[in-house]
Amino acid sequence: MKIKRIAHIGIAVKDADASKNFYQDMLELPVDREERLGELKIAFVPIGQTNVELVQSTDPEGVMAKFIAKRGEGIHHLALEVEDIDQALAELKAKGVPLVDQQARPGAHEARIAFLHPKGTNGVLIELVQYTH
């Protein structure tokens, strides 16, 4: 398995537009792109070779809304870019690492993604990302 970099740090926010203003106006970091992915509204703020990913649920029952209700706004997950996500998942499965996603699925940035279960990672939700282009 080859891990190349921290692709992004996912942050659960109540309001992606308000949050991106902090990065743009206070930190002078422009938003690179915004996307909708199912119920999620996502804004990417590039910082060097990585990104801050601001993620908001548009559905009050959505995944980020539930996270915020339980734990408040804040860091939600760490995304690692891998060369080959199928190979990485097969290797991790063989090593007994608990997975949320048994198979890679489509994510933001037209990437393929899969989450590892936080019970196997000291409580950190880790996302694997493979860019398709």
Point out which residues bind Zn ion (CB under 5 A).
10, 53, 79, 127
Cβ closest to Zn ion, residue 25 vs residue 67: 67
| Closest approach of Zn ion to the CB of residue 97, in Å | 18
Q: Which residue is nearest to Zn ion (CB)?
A: 10
| Closest approach of Zn ion to the CB of residue 126, in Å | 10
Whether the CB-CB separation of 89 and 102 falls below 8 Å is answered with yes
d(CA 93, CA 31): 35
Four-residue CA torsion sign, 93, 90, 6, 104: negative
Cβ closest to Zn ion, residue 81 vs residue 127: 127
| Closest approach of Zn ion to the CB of residue 30, in Å | 19
Query: Which DSSP helix (H) or strand (E) runs through 19?
Result: helix 16-21
